């Protein structure tokens, strides 16, 4: 794991169980590895899922993804899960982002689905995670104000929230470290 580009990943699914539920949407944002996390590029893909399969999704996913339009997009998409895995791998290669830590909010969740459904994409990431939800919890315990996350549940919006939190946390941690060095 070097300090090359950071690959932020998010998925939307039909539920919480990687053995039973399926991936609907995959998004990746590539940033630089500076405390400003400058956005270099973004991509997202919606995976085709038949309407009858979506009717079996858990109730929360039914409400959330119908409201966001994701279920409708999934029935119209022409991408298979294999297409998306190949495209995401090509995207990481294009940006020299192989072996990046898996960055995001609770990326262990995304990783659990990738292990099941997109193993080659999972293997393209370093085993380490860069989890902004852990930083959020730590700073909240310390009494810092923590921005609320929007309740969008679409990959690029959620990823931009995660990158924004990382920038915020970097500014707090940077100021704290600088004050110790004075």
Q: What is the pLDDT of residues 45-67, one digit of tens each?
A: 999 999 999 999 999 999 999 99
Over residues 106-117, the mean pLDDT reads: 98
Catalytic status, residue 91: no
What local confidence, expressed as pLDDT, does residue 157 receive? 97
What does the alpha-carbon distance between residue 18 and residue 160 come to, in Å, rounded to a whole number? Answer: 24
CATH architecture of residue range(s) 6-180: 2-Layer Sandwich (3.30)
More confident of the two residues 146 and 44:
44
What local confidence, expressed as pLDDT, does residue 175 receive? 64
Task: Answer for the pair 64, 89: CB distance below 8 angstroms, yes or no.
Answer: no
What local confidence, expressed as pLDDT, does residue 179 receive? 61
Q: One of 79, 91, 127, 168 is an active-site residue; which one? A: 127
Specify the pTM: 0.93
Q: How confident is the model at residue 89 (pLDDT cuts 50, 70, 90)?
A: very high
Instruction: Provide the residue ranges of all domains of the chain, joining segments of one domain with +.
Output: 6-180
Any residues with CB less than 8 A from the CB of 34 and at least 6 apart, and which?
none
What local confidence, expressed as pLDDT, does residue 109 receive? 98
């Amino acid at each position: 794991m070097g300090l090359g580009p950071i690959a932020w990943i998010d998925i939307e699914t039909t539920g919480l169980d990687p053995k039973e539920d399926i991936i609907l949407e995959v998004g990746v944002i590539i940033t630089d590895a500076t405390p400003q996390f400058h956005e270099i590029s973004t991509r997202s893909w919606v995976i085709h899922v038949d309407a009858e399969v979506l009717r079996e999704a858990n109730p929360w996913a039914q409400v959330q993804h119908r409201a966001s339009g994701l279920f409708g997009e999934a029935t119209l998409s022409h991408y298979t899960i294999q297409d998306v895995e190949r495209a995401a791998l090509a995207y990481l290669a294009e940006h020299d982002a192989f072996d990046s830590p898996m960055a995001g909010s609770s990326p262990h969740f995304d990783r659990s689905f990738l292990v099941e459904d997109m193993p080659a994409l999972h293997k393209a990431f370093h085993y380490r995670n860069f989890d902004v939800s852990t930083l959020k919890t730590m700073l909240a315990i310390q009494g810092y104000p923590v921005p609320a996350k929007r309740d969008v549940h679409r990959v690029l919006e959620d990823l931009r929230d995660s990158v924004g939190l990382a920038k915020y946390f970097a500014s707090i941690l940077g100021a704290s470290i600088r004050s110790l060095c004075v």
